[in-house]
Amino acid sequence: MAASNLSIADLERELRQRQAALQGLQNKEQALRGQLADVQSEIASILGGGAGRKRGLGRPPNMSGPTPGGPVARQSRTKNAMTLADSIANAMEVGAVSSPKEVAAFVMSNGYRTTSKTFGIQVATTLTKDERFKRVGRGQYKRIK
């Protein structure tokens, strides 16, 4: 129904209904804001008051120096007696054809140490670049020297 077809009494009734609905939503919003404030104060008490920053738990912008809590410990790089290419050459016999996945397993079983999550990709790259190996098919490499 168009608003021009409604009587003034109908319009007033619609206005009262909308105002009541608005008041109910505003009350609900206020209650939720109170609950949110309670949760934020609990978080602040657990974190020692640092939860109010919007940038997370790190240092604030434009602050120099170490991050709160001290420097982050990094894992030391593993050291091997020989390079990956030499380890692959020792693991494969001349004329042998293998996939990078098989070669990675051979190298690891021969004692090569790594913490890499992408060790298979490193092996494949080394096989491609080293002149001692030749690609003979998709995912297949042969030791030629």
Residues 60-99 have pLDDT tens digits of 566 555 555 566 666 677 888 899 999 999 999 999 999 9
In a domain, 124, yes or no: yes
Residue 38 pLDDT = 85
Q: Taking all residues of the chain, what is their mean pLDDT, rounded to a whole number?
A: 84
Total tally of structural domains belonging to the chain: 2
For residues 71, 73, 74 and 77, what is the CA-based torsion angle, rounded to 10 degrees? 130
Give yes or no: residues 92 and 137 share one domain: yes
CB atoms within 10 A of CB 126: 22
Q: Which domain does 123 fall in, by range?
A: 84-143
> Which tokens hold the place of 136?
């003979």
CA dist 33 and 94 (Å) reads: 72
Give yes or no: residues 92 and 134 share one domain: yes
Q: Give the model's confidence band at 51: pLDDT under 50 very low, under 70 low, under 90 confident, else very high.
A: very low
In a domain, 20, yes or no: yes
> Which tokens hold the place of 117?
């999550």
Give yes or no: residues 47 and 88 share one domain: no
Which among 110, 109, 96 has a CA at the least distance from the CA of 140?
96
Query: Whole-prediction pTM value?
Result: 0.49
In a domain, 63, yes or no: no
Beta-bridged to residue 137, according to DSSP, are 140
Task: For residues 31-56, give the mean pLDDT.
Answer: 74
In a domain, 72, yes or no: no
Residues 6+ apart with CB under 8 A from 107: 84, 87, 88, 91, 123
In a domain, 60, yes or no: no
Q: What is the DSSP annotation of 57-106?
A: TSPPTT--SPPTT-PPP-PPPP--SS-HHHHHHHHSPTT-EE-HHHHHHH
Residue 126 pLDDT = 95
Residue 54 pLDDT = 53
In a domain, 23, yes or no: yes
In a domain, 70, yes or no: no
Rg over alpha carbons for the chain, rounded to the nearest Å, is 34
In a domain, 22, yes or no: yes
- DSSP secondary structure code for residue 7 in this structure: -
Residues 6+ apart with CB under 8 A from 125: none
